[in-house]
Chains A and B, each alone.
Chain A
Amino acid sequence: MVLVLALGDLHIPHRASDLPPKFKSMLVPGKIQHIICTGNLCIKEVHDYLKTVCPDLHIARGEYDEETRYPETKTLSIGQFKLGVCHGHQVIPWGDLDSLAMLQRQLDVDILVTGHTHQFTAYKHEAGVVINPGSATGSYSSITYDVNPSFVLMDIDGLRVVVYVYELIDGEVKVDKIDFKKTTTSST
């Protein structure tokens, strides 16, 4: 059982002052093995904070990130799964699932984590799963109205991944979960 936190588009301090307190109290150091971040933190302070939650931090570059050396895309293997992360402003049309599926094929990953729209989605297609953890701070987006703060926790166990999405709606944290199973091992 491997816990992977996926979050992004915090836009601190341009569009938000901080993570919601209810989220902060949930992100306890030592519980999570990996963090995948879709980008747009935007400042070093946020990077340092995420490092304290989990030192294995993978970030893709968002267009507002202060740190210009984050990669445009990143891939990594966790257990039986190959994961990829990309902020998503590079994939046009923004939020278009077919275009994201192409990126997924290109990166050859089972799970593609992407952001930019600030809208949580978890979409399964023939090549794998595309997950958008939304904006962890619920910050303004030109694409999505009424953004609720959200992040995703993936529990990777063998060939199965359970995706938990945490959303802050009207001051309460609501959790939902989605199951995905890989049909083959990642040997090819």
Chain B
Amino acid sequence: MIAGVAEDEEKWLSAGIAGLQQNAFFMHRALDSNNLKDALKYSAQMLSELRTSRLSPHKYYELYMRAFDELRKLEIFFKEEANRGCSIVELYELVQHAGNILPRLYLLCTVGSVYIRSKEAPAKDVLKDLIEMCRGIQHPVRGLFLRSYLSQVSRDKLPDIGSEYEGDADTAMDAVEFVLQNFTEMNKLWVRMQHQGPAREKEKREKERSELRDLVGKNLHVLGQIEGVDLDMYRETVLPRVLEQVVNCKDEIAQYYLMDCVIQVFPDEYHLQTLETLLGACPQLQPSVDIKMVLARLMERLSNYAASSAEVLPIFFQVEAFAKLNNAIGKVIEAQDDMPIYGAVTLYASLLTFTLHVHPDRLDYVDQILGACVKKLSGKGKLDDSKATKQIVALLSAPLEKYKDIDTALKLSNYPQVMEYLDIGTNKEMSNVIIQSILKNRTCISTAEKVEALFELIKGLIKDINENLQDELDEDDFEEEQNSVARLIQMLYTDDTEEMMKIIHTVRKHIMTGGPKRLPFTVPPFTFSALKLVRRLQSQNKNVSGEEVAATPKDIFQILMQTIEALSSVPVPELALRLYLQCAEAANDCDLEPVAYEFFTQAYILYEEEISDSKAQVTSIHLIIGTLQRMHVFGVENRDTLTHKATGYSSKLLKKPDQCRAVYACSHLFWLDENNDMKDGERVMLCLKRALRIANAAQQMANATRGSSGSVVLFIEILNKYLYFYEKGVLQVTVDSILSMIELIKQETSGENTTPDPATDAFFASTLRYIQFQKDKGGVVAEKYKPIKTEFA
């Protein structure tokens, strides 16, 4: 059906063009032979093609353009006629004899153009006459094109000030009147199209209207270019008249398009000075007009204007731009009671962008906007409209991006309130945005108060807000989220130790509400933050003597003990063990023996009761031994107890090689370089011998189960340890013991059952090289190493 219509239209257009061209041909022939009468006859016939009602605007335009071209040539002829002495006035009369009104009016406009140019009559008079005549065409499409033609031919002939057609007036009022009238009439015609034809073709009509809109909008462009339209004339005449028409036409399409035109066409300085008038029209528009787009564009233009030069900024203050815009938005939202939340928030978001550009230092404005948002949202409960939440996220992100310093955003009292209205998922998303902003800008949050405010804001990440609601976040996302929180904790810092203590308390308070899911992520960064503070207090305490210090390391260790304990609810014993050992070392550095002992106790309990995985046990033992080895704060009894336990754990590891290695590591517990009281050669040798026994047992087991000699590497390791302690001067490590080790290894590596292992051989060779190297060193070391023979028979 539609295809058929399109085909028909093509046919009609072709027919129209053919007719037009044919008459044009005859018209030209008449022009060439100076036959005015015939020329007029054929031109009228030619223009009759424009009388059609069959064409859509798009096709009509094609026809119109061809007519336009022909009329240009006709106009040149008329001008030459005038030069030859033919009376323009007569010509003006003559063309009015054309039979049909539309061709008559086109011809009249054409002659009118020449008339004005001849200056035989004031431009304003001719224009007035023409525009009155055009009333004769009330058909929307034909009328619009006719008036468009009038506009085109008159454009360069308006009685503007400074133009040659100025006449005796010294204002551009007449020109303005003319254009305004044309605009008004064209708009009326345009709006009329909406109501023509059957209801079912509304969509088609609106599309056609859209094709014609620039014809109407052009008038505003022309107004914008009239020299004589200064700010006063714009304010007193142009804007009010245009807005009057816009409001009164009560047509959604026209209103939206024209408001936008006004904003785009006229200069920003004019807009600033006429804000109230312009904004005053907004609530009067049809409710279906997308006013937020219009306002958003206006604010965008003004933002850019403000950014363009510093001199412009004071004007914004002067005209109270913010207040007016804020009011206008309020009125629009009030007037359109059923405006969806998304619309209102978009408006506020635009205003916020404007404010951040133009008045970035006015936090009160920013807060005001957020407050207005809260008001609009109140009573609605949590939003479930995704478009609205997206806008709110944009609204909340804008101050973060602008200020880069979270401090400023924290000062906005309405900020957290807006966040309350987001559903849980979006709230978390926003919290994440906040955290990323802090991390990206590497801003430190330096007071407990700000930390408190921040944690309030991001509480969705810190704890389960609604216990009944199951969090649908998938595991990876949850981890990422909590890792962000962990990173954030690193940024909560100040050099002031008193304030830092307060921060520690605040952070602890909040992370403890996180529950077992979150503690493994939040407790470690908290722990290290606290330990860093302990270190700072250590150096401080040394300087400050006798004065009351607000926080002491002991207080912090107490907090840490309680906090790490909480990890048992998860449970993550390996992590807790590591943290206990870290704290023990820190307590050691503060000379707090009982505290260090307590931390060790807790670590040991975890090891005994909770850590049963072999691999985990090996690592944990290494950490225990390594930490214990560095402790200097323990008295003999405590030290003995802990050491005894550690060696006990070592010999009970599952795999023999692990046992062996852990036991010989324990040998270091009995020999501390810095402390002569802690050098017990006998216990060192006991450990090494024990390790050797275990290595032997491992060898035998390997022989029995696999028929191979197993790994000799343990022996070589033990040999290396012998050499280590021999060098340190442990008397119990005798030359003989070393030599017999070397013998043993030789035997094991060259036996008949042994499978050669290049790694083992290389290790042994390198050990022997080391011995040789020491001998070559000379001096005391060489003396020591001399008796150790490495040559083989």
Chain A positions near chain B (C-beta within 8 angstroms)? 11-18, 21, 43, 45, 63-64, 68, 89-90, 92-94, 98-99, 101-102, 105-106, 108, 126-127, 139-140, 142-143, 145, 188
Contact = CB atoms under 8 A, between A and B. Distances in A.
A93 B668 contact: yes
Contacts of B371: none
Nearest to A11: B528
B317 interface: no
Main secondary structure of the interface of A (DSSP, over half): loop
Nearest to A96: B668
Given A15-B490, A93-B629, A108 B763 contact: yes
Contacts of B623: 63, 89
Contact of B622 (A89, A142, A188): A89
Nearest to B483: A13
B630 A143 contact: yes
B403 interface: no
B490 A21 contact: no
B439 interface: yes
A12 B489 CA distance: 11
Contacts, number: 100
Contact of B578 (A64, A94, A101, A106): A64
Given A13-B484, A14-B528, 10 more contacts: A13-B483, A15-B528, A17-B487, A17-B490, A63-B578, A89-B619, A89-B623, A93-B629, A105-B763, A108-B766
A140 B622 contact: no
A126 B525 contact: no
Contacts of B766: 105, 108, 127
B486 interface: yes
A21 B442 contact: yes
A89 B626 contact: yes
B486 A13 contact: yes
Contact of A90 (B480, B490, B622, B759): B622
Contacts of A11: 528
A140 B626 contact: no
B181 to A, nearest CB: 65
A45 B476 CA distance: 11
Interface string B711-753: 0010011001100100100000000000000000000000000
Q: Which 4 pairs, one residue from A and one from B, show the smallest C-beta to C-beta distance?
A: A13-B486, A142-B585, A17-B487, A17-B490
Contacts of A18: 439, 487
Given A15-B490, A17-B439, A93-B626, A126 B532 contact: no
B532 A140 contact: yes
Contacts of B151: none
Contact of A14 (B524, B630, B769): B524
B763 A92 contact: no
A11 to B, nearest CB: 8
B785 to A, nearest CB: 12
Contacts of B479: 43
A127 B774 CA distance: 12
25 contacts: A13-B487, A13-B521, A14-B524, A15-B528, A17-B487, A17-B488, A18-B487, A43-B479, A43-B483, A45-B483, A92-B625, A94-B629, A102-B717, A102-B724, A105-B720, A105-B767, A105-B770, A106-B713, A126-B773, A127-B770, A139-B528, A140-B528, A140-B532, A143-B630, A188-B762
Contact of B630 (A90, A94, A108, A126): A94
B717 A14 contact: no
Contacts of A16: 490
Contacts of A94: 626, 629-630
B399 to A, nearest CB: 22
A180 to B, nearest CB: 17
Given A13-B490, A43-B483, A102-B717, A108 B724 contact: no
B535 interface: yes
Contact of B769 (A15, A64, A126): A126
A111 to B, nearest CB: 14
Contacts of A89: 619, 622-623, 626
B763 A99 contact: no
A79 B426 CA distance: 53
Nearest to B532: A140
B586 interface: yes
Contacts of A45: 480, 483
Contacts of A188: 762, 765
B330 to A, nearest CB: 42
